[in-house]
Amino acid sequence: MFEFSVLILIPLLSAGVCYYLKNFRLQYSISLFVSAIHLLLSLVIFIGWYKTDLPFFFSTDSLSKLFLLVLSNIYFWVVLVSFSYLKRPVTPNSEEGKKYYFLLLNFYLFANTAAILSNHYGMYWVAAEGTTLSVAPLIYYYRNEEALEAMWKYLFLVSIGIAFAFIGILFLTLSAKGTPLEGQQLFFSEFVKNARTLNPVWLKASFIFIFVGLSTKIGIAPMHSADVDATSNSPSPIAALMSGSLRITALLGVMRIFQIVQPTSTYEFAKTILIIGGLLSLLFAFIFMFKVNNYKRMLAYSSIEHLGIITLGIGIGGLAFVGAMYHIIYNSLNKVVLFFTAGNIHYKYKTREVDGVSSVLNILPWSGWLLLISFLAISAIPPFGIFFSELMIFEGMLFSDKPWILAVTMFLLLFIFINMGKTLFQMLYRKNENENLPVEKERFGIIHFATIVLLILLIAIAVASPNILHENIVNISKDFGIKL
């Protein structure tokens, strides 16, 4: 009960508190405190010093532990930088946006935690929808047309998608007809236990619906559009939050059904669908990288790409699955870093167009170098984590039964890399022509601190490769019936 209250109730509570507190600093400190203890507890749970038993529809397994840790880690850093971010002067009519900022953040934490910890599909659904609801107003933070449009699209598309997911869930119950599960609650654990008895037709249907429905949230092509719009137009911390934690929360739902499907005859089918989805996302990212001229959109597409890689890894199974698990962690860290630095650039240059940005390395030395480094990290350069996870995924692909996927993936990744590099380096190096930029020296802020810490984390996890993490991931792959 204790962990339940800490992980789920307290965020809700603090959300309520934030509604009544008008003072920013107070809101900030409360949220920071909440996020800190949240992070602490989830870390403790992850390490295993604290055995959990959650009431109602909640429980933890190695998968949810991992996702919980990722979530609370990202959340903590986002909250940490949020204050300095909010302090920045922005358009007057976005002042009211600040009022609900922390409230919504806390609500988001509550909903997302609930979604991750839920052991019940209905619960998961409700909570996932909750996350959408909490994020949508945050997307509209800037109170300008683009933000509004992005919010509308995100809200609408994701609601539709998640409705489809709900249909999928209903199919799942349908597939349980005539089995011991009939009339039982939709507990994952139960379903996983006697998945073999499920009716394959409905199981297939439910997998498709859940996958497609949640794809709108994960950003699997071709349901990625609204996701891209939202990520590219929301304030950077929110963008970081979305591509860092929200997407993988949605991915969790897909993984759950995948876990249920795994022992059945539908397994191969599900794998194929995942692979198709992953390749499609890579393809879309590949195509749009050629024409994108807005660096935040570019980053959004890059997270489409990486979610695609993760999906591919899960679909391929074997070593690639393990790689995908690692990739989830590294990608979330890396995306946060990228979006933070991008946010600084946007704040300085007041534009998201690539052409408006030039010689960042001279004008914003800190952010510039950090952006360069994090680009190296995201394009799988050692010793950054992504290198190792991609290594595993690639090896898994090569020695799976479809090695051609590796060739395709590498081809797409190469061109994505080239185009990203072209764009970013243009921003970083090009001689600066617009004089009206204020040329005061960039000071070392909390955002840079957070960025550096996360980068170090990115290296440290990869190089030290803590045993607990590895064990946990091995357990996950055991749950997914993957023999290593």
Partner 1 sequence: MNLFFFALAIQILPTIIIGFLPDNRKASVVTHFLLVAGLILGFSSSFNALVFSNTTQHNISIFGIPNSLFRFDALALYFLCIIQLVAIPISIYSYSYFKYYIERGKSVRSTLVFYTLLLVSTQLLVSANHSIVFLIFWEVMSISAYLGMIFEKEKKEVQTGSFYYFVMNHIVVYLLFVFFFLLHHQTKSWLFSDFHISPEAGKIFIISYALSLIAFGMKAGFMPFHFWLPRAHPIAPTVFSAFLSGIIIKTGIYGILRTFQFLNPTPEWLGWLVLAVSMISAIFGVWYALAQHDIKKLLAYHSVENIGIIGIGIGIGFIGSAYHSLPIQVLGFGGALLHTLNHAIFKSLLFIGSGVISQNLGTRNIELMGGLVHRGKYFVMLFLIGSIAISGIPPLNGFISEFIIYNGFFVTAKELKNYYPLVMLISAVGLAFVGGLAVACFTKINSIMFLGSERKEVKHFNISFYEYVSLGILAFLCVVIGFYPQPFIGIVNKVLNNGFVPVSSSSALLSINWFYISLIFGIIFLGVLFVYFWKRAIQNKYGRRTSAAWGCGYENVNPRMQYTASSFADELNEISKSVLVYHKNIKPSKKIFPAEASFESHSEDLVDNKFVLNGFRNFSSMISKIEFLSHTDIRYYISFILIILTIYGLIAFLWN
Partner 2 sequence: MQNVLSILFCLSLFYLAVTSRVKAYVSVLRFQGILLTVLLVFPFINHFSVYAFILPATLFVVKVILIPRYINKIILDLDIKRMIEPSIQPFTFQLLVIFSMIVIFVASNILSKSTSIETIPFASGFSAIAVGIFVIIFRKKLIIHVAGFLVLENGIFLFGTAVASELPMMIEIGTLLDVFVVVFLMGIAMNKISSTLSGFDVTALGRLKD
Which residues are at the interface with partner 2 (CB under 8 A)? 57, 120, 122-123, 125-126, 129-130, 133, 136-137, 140, 144-146, 148-153, 155-156, 159-160, 163, 166-167, 169-171, 173-175, 177-178, 183-186, 199, 201-202, 229, 232-233, 288, 291-294, 297
125 binds, among partner 1, partner 2, none (CB under 5 to 8 A by kind): partner 2
For 351-354, the CB contacts below 8 A with 24+ separation are: 352/232, 352/294, 352/295, 352/296, 352/297, 353/293, 353/294, 354/293, 354/294, 354/295, 354/298, 354/423, 354/426, 354/427
Q: Is 449 in the site for partner 1 (CB under 8 A)?
A: no
Residue 220 tokens, joined: 């699997």
Please give the single-letter amino acid code of residue 197: T
Q: Which of 211, 258, 326, 330 binds partner 1 (CB under 8 A)?
A: 211
Output Rg (C-alpha) for the chain, integer angstroms: 21
Q: Which of 122, 137, 263, 382 binds partner 1 (CB under 8 A)?
A: 382
Q: What dihedral do alpha carbons 143, 147, 149, 154 form, nearest 10°?
A: -120
163 binds, among partner 2, partner 1, none (CB under 5 to 8 A by kind): partner 2
C-alpha angle 181-186-187 in degrees, rounded to nearest 5: 95
94 binds, among partner 2, partner 1, none (CB under 5 to 8 A by kind): none
At residue 353, the 3 state secondary structure works out as strand
User: Among residues 389 and 423, whose Cβ is nearest to partner 2?
Assistant: 423
Q: At what angle do helices 385-398 and 404-429 cross, to 10 degrees?
A: 160
C-alpha angle 432-437-441 in degrees, rounded to nearest 5: 95
Provide, rounded to whole angstroms, the least separation between the CB of residue 104 and partner 2.
11
430 binds, among partner 1, partner 2, none (CB under 5 to 8 A by kind): partner 1
Cβ–Cβ < 8 Å for 139, 151: yes
Q: Is 421 in the site for partner 1 (CB under 8 A)?
A: yes
Cβ–Cβ < 8 Å for 172, 191: yes
Q: Is 456 in the site for partner 1 (CB under 8 A)?
A: no
Residue 423 tokens, joined: 């764009």
Residue 359 tokens, joined: 């010689």
Q: Is 22 in the site for partner 1 (CB under 8 A)?
A: no
Q: Is 444 in the site for partner 1 (CB under 8 A)?
A: no
**Buried (b) or exposed (e) across 27-50, using 16+ Cβ within 10 A?**
bbebbbebbeebbebbbebbeeee
186 binds, among partner 1, partner 2, none (CB under 5 to 8 A by kind): partner 2
Q: Is 223 in the site for partner 1 (CB under 8 A)?
A: yes
Provide, rounded to whole angstroms, the least separation between the CB of residue 179 and partner 2.
10
290 binds, among partner 1, partner 2, none (CB under 5 to 8 A by kind): partner 1
At residue 187, the 3 state secondary structure works out as strand
User: Among residues 44 and 201, whose Cβ is nearest to partner 1?
Assistant: 201
- Which stretches of the chain bind partner 1, using CB under 8 A? 152-153, 156-157, 160-161, 164, 204-205, 208-209, 211-212, 215-216, 222-223, 225-226, 269, 272-273, 276, 284, 286-288, 290-291, 359, 361, 369, 376, 379, 381-383, 387, 391, 394-395, 398-399, 406, 410, 413-414, 417-419, 421-422, 425-426, 428-431
